Amino acid sequence: MSIFNKKQKLVDRKNLGNEQQQNKSDRLYNRGIQTGIGNTEINEPLPRIEFAPCEIQHQGKNNTYLILGRDRPAHRGSGLGGQGGTQCGRIDLCAGVASSYKRKDDSFGPDPSQLVNPNFITTASRVYITQRGNIDKYMGIASVRGFTNSKNRAAIGLKSDCIRLHARQDIKIVTGKSKHEGLGPSGERLSNGGEFDGVGTISFIAGNYTDDESSKSFSLWNPSNAVGGSKQKLQPLVKGKNLIEAFNDVVDILHEMTNRINENSKRTDTLANSYQNHFHDATPGFGGPSTPSMSTAMVGSTFTKIFSKIDRVHVKVNDEKLKAFKGNFLEEGSSNSYINSKYVFTT
Per the CB < 8 A criterion, the answer to whether 42 and 35 are in contact is: yes
C-alpha span between 278 and 270 (Å, rounded): 12
Task: Domain of residue 285: give its range.
Answer: 240-346
Establish if 35 belongs to a structural domain.
no
Establish if 212 belongs to a structural domain.
no
Establish if 231 belongs to a structural domain.
no
Establish if 95 belongs to a structural domain.
yes
Q: Same domain for 68 and 157?
A: yes
- From 163, 188, 211, give the residue that closes a domain: 163
- From 138, 163, 188, give the residue that closes a domain: 163
Tens of pLDDT, residue by residue, the chain (347 residues) = 454 444 444 444 445 456 666 666 667 666 767 778 888 888 899 999 999 999 999 999 999 999 999 999 999 999 999 999 999 999 999 999 999 999 888 899 999 989 999 999 999 999 999 999 999 999 999 988 767 789 999 999 999 999 999 999 999 999 988 888 888 888 888 888 888 878 889 999 999 999 888 887 777 777 777 777 888 899 999 999 999 999 998 888 888 878 777 777 777 777 667 666 665 555 555 555 555 555 555 555 655 665 565 566 566 667 788 888 888 899 987 778 999 999 999 99
Establish if 25 belongs to a structural domain.
no
How many domains are there within the chain? Answer: 2
Per the CB < 8 A criterion, the answer to whether 125 and 94 are in contact is: yes
Tell me how far CA of residue 177 lies from CA of 190, 195, 202, in angstroms.
9, 10, 14
Alpha-carbon torsion, ordered 213, 214, 220, 223, to 10 deg? -140
C-alpha span between 138 and 78 (Å, rounded): 9
Per the CB < 8 A criterion, the answer to whether 339 and 239 are in contact is: yes
Establish if 168 belongs to a structural domain.
no
- State whether residue 31 is helix, strand or coil: coil
pTM for the structure as a whole: 0.72
Establish if 20 belongs to a structural domain.
no
- From 101, 129, 163, give the residue that closes a domain: 163
Establish if 273 belongs to a structural domain.
yes
Q: Which amino acid is at 293?
A: S
